[in-house]
């Protein structure tokens, strides 16, 4: 008798259609896919230097893009005792209040020869 009961149970379970398990209904709507936000471009700051040259700067998240003598240079923020100092691509851009100076970069870390002293003339959107 037990054998028939076990056989009947196996037969019934083999014929049963299994449904996939579902998560319990929490009453919430599934979240929409996340669309990455694109940060708006920073304004361009333009500087007129004592030599007559111009410098254009667009600040980035961890540095800036500096346009000088028809070439764009990528500089990153660097440690300084005062002001904001950016280094890279052979140049140092140093801003201390209204004083803006451009130097050569020596040994990838040191401030070298003074190239320009500049003043901000306009910010463009």
- Has residue 18 been placed in a domain? no
How many Cβ atoms from other residues are within 10 Å of residue 68's Cβ? 21
- Has residue 91 been placed in a domain? yes
Question: Is the predicted pLDDT of residue 115 greater than 90, yes or no?
Answer: yes
Domain count, the chain: 1
Residue 113: phi, psi to the nearest 5?
-70, 140
Overall pTM surpassing 0.85 (yes/no): no
For 52, the domain range is 44-124
CATH number of the domain bearing residue 105: 2.40.128.200
- Has residue 19 been placed in a domain? no
- Has residue 15 been placed in a domain? no
- Has residue 39 been placed in a domain? no
pLDDT in tens, 21-42: 565 666 666 665 655 554 567 8
| Cα three-residue angle 92-54-103, rounded to 5 degrees | 20
When pLDDT is cut at 50, 70 and 90, the band that residue 7 belongs to is very low
pLDDT in tens, 43-90: 899 999 999 999 999 998 889 999 999 999 999 999 888 889 999 999
- Has residue 9 been placed in a domain? no
Name the residue with tokens 């003043």.
119
């Amino acid at each position: 008798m037990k054998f028939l009961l076990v056989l009947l149970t196996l037969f019934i379970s083999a014929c049963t259609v299994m449904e996939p398990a579902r998560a319990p209904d929490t009453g919430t709507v599934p979240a929409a896919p996340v669309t990455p936000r694109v940060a708006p471009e920073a304004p361009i700051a333009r500087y007129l230097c004592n030599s007559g040259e111009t410098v254009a700067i667009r600040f980035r998240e961890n540095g800036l893009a500096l346009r000088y003598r028809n070439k764009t240079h990528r500089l990153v923020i660097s440690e300084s005792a005062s002001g904001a100092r950016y280094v890279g691509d052979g140049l140092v851009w140093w801003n201390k209040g209204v004083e803006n100076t451009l130097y050569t970069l020596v040994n990838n870390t040191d401030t070298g020869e003074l190239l320009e002293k500049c003043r901000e003339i306009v910010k463009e959107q």
